[in-house]
């Protein structure tokens, strides 16, 4: 896959799934715009490392995606984009009658509303070029639900609905919009939870992963960030030019249950 001459903006991409996606796009030759809400030296150094490792242009742009204005400014400061990956997200677990209102609002803003704002700004430039790819990183929770995750599930279902709408609005224009729906992905955040889960359940690492953490994932294997990134790269290819307005589950069989 050759994505040279394509600029990719990936939200929430200084770690985890977003970083994995950025790396796979960089391997394919795309110019990379990394993003998160922090503005540290290591964030900008991370962008520089992409040039060193992959030989591509790369920048880091700080933006707090709980703000619609900052989400729009991210795409504008990038100079537009050919590939937009809406990945930024946060999580909170609580019963709905105990869910903090401010936390609900922030999850909806970051996980769902930001994708609206970035997409709205990115599409005119894509239409002008006659080519574009919008990839929304939803979740298995965009297709199914779990208790105590009301804001996250609501936001991810909303992202899936918006994906379908954008796919219809851009059909036949050389632009596609799709949602990738991962199951449990082995990220540094998840990796850090494993020792605590081992203590709580008095299990060894492999058993607690298989029987507790991946109970709902039939493969009993974590999805990798490389697999998510590879799926995004494929969606950017000519092979996927007629794949639009749909979801692709990368979840070890979770949503087949």
Catalytic residues: 152
Instruction: Give start and end residues of each alpha helix (H) in 109-145.
Output: 114-129
Instruction: Assess contact for 60 and 44: CB atoms under 8 A.
Output: yes
Cα dist from 250 to 55, 132, 213, 246, whole Å: 29, 22, 16, 13
- The backbone torsions φ and ψ at residue 15, rounded to the nearest 5 degrees and listed phi first, read -165, 170
Question: If you ran DSSP here, which 8-state letter would residue 82 be given?
Answer: S
Closest by Cα among 6, 239, 225 to 132? 6
Cα dist from 92 to 64, 188, 219, whole Å: 18, 17, 26
When computed from its CA atoms, the radius of gyration of the chain, rounded to whole angstroms, is 18
The CB-side HSE value for 172 (13 A sphere, CA atoms) comes to 2
3-state class (DSSP) for residue 232 = helix
Closest by Cα among 180, 185, 228 to 209? 185
Q: Inter-axis angle of helices 16-27 and 41-54, to 10 degrees?
A: 30
Strands, sheet with 83-86, edge to edge from the N-terminal-most edge strand: 58-62, 31-36, 7-10, 83-86, 132-137, 175-182, 247-250
């Amino acid at each position: 896959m050759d994505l040279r001459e394509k600029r990719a903006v990936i939200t929430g991409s200084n770690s985890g799934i977003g970083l994995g996606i950025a790396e796979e796009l960089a391997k394919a030759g795309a110019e990379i715009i990394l993003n998160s809400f922090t503005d540290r030296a290591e964030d900008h150094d991370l962008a520089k490392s992409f040039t060193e490792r992959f030989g591509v242009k790369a920048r880091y742009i700080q933006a707090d995606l709980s703000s619609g204005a900052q989400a729009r400014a991210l795409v504008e400061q990038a100079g537009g984009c050919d590939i937009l990956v809406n990945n930024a997200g946060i999580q909170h677990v609580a019963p709905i009658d105990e869910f903090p209102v401010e936390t609900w609002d922030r999850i909806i803003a970051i996980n769902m509303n930001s994708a609206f704002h970035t997409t709205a700004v990115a599409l005119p430039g894509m239409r002008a070029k006659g080519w574009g790819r919008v990839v929304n990183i939803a979740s298995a929770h965009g297709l199914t639900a779990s208790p105590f995750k009301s804001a996250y599930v609501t936001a991810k279902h909303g992202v899936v609905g918006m994906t379908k709408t954008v796919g219809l609005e851009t059909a036949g224009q050389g632009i596609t919009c799709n949602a990738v729906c991962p199951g449990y992905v082995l990220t540094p955040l998840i990796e850090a939870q494993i020792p605590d889960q081992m203590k709580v359940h008095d299990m060894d690492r492999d058993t607690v992963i298989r029987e507790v953490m991946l109970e709902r994932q039939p493969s009993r294997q974590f999805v990798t960030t490389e697999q998510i990134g590879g799926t995004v790269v494929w969606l950017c290819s000519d092979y996927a030019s007629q794949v639009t307005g749909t979801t692709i589950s990368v979840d070890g069989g979770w949503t087949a249950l």
